Structure 1
Amino acid sequence: MEVQGIDQLAERLASLVPPGLAQAREDLRANFKDVLAQGLRRLDLVTREEFDVQSQVLARTRERLEIMEKRVASLEASDAPSGQ
């Protein structure tokens, strides 16, 4: 979750505090933000950029695998009649 998302979630949580507790609301918002950020740091997450790069690598790998599978099938088919 990006910083903006954490800020928005912390703000939403703080908005649940009754309006008469304005100072407590701001303190809670800051605390919510810190707790959310710490919790997310403990998770084994990757950035969106890293995810996108790995998705592209996987797509290229799949394409190459499909090409190789077709080549193997072709070689097996061409070898089958002479091998019998």
Structure 2
Amino acid sequence: MFDPKKLEQVAKQIHESMPQPVKELGADVEQKVRQVIQSQLNKLDVVSREEFDVQTQVLLRTRQKLTDMEKKLAEIEEKLAANKGE
């Protein structure tokens, strides 16, 4: 759901800002930080950038289809109005 590279970067920044004795606890700290961040992000009602981009494209295609259908409907209505006038 979220970009693992971004999570990795944030976890690394947090780990690097820790005092040296804490850093020496090993890679387990970084992994735990990553897990906590991922857990908290999953609780938020958000979507990934990839999912957002996909939905944006779907919306654009749907909007284009709606515009096309509105145009066709207007043409049909014009034809019907012209036939009534005859």
Partner of 1:65: 66
- The TM-score normalised by the length of structure 1 is 0.67
Partner of 1:22: 23
Q: Distance in 2 between matches of 1:19 and 1:66?
A: 61
Name whichever of 35-44 and 5-14 sits farther off: 35-44
Q: Distance in 2 between matches of 1:16 and 1:27?
A: 15
Q: Specify every segment of 5 or more residues in structure 1 that has no aligned partner in the other structure, as ranges.
A: none
- The TM-score normalised by the length of structure 2 is 0.66
Q: Distance in 1 between matches of 2:84 and 2:40?
A: 62
Question: Percent of pairs identical after alignment?
Answer: 35
Deviation at 1:68, TM superposition (A): 0.5
Q: Distance in 2 between matches of 1:22 and 1:53?
A: 40
> Size of the alignment, in residue pairs?
84
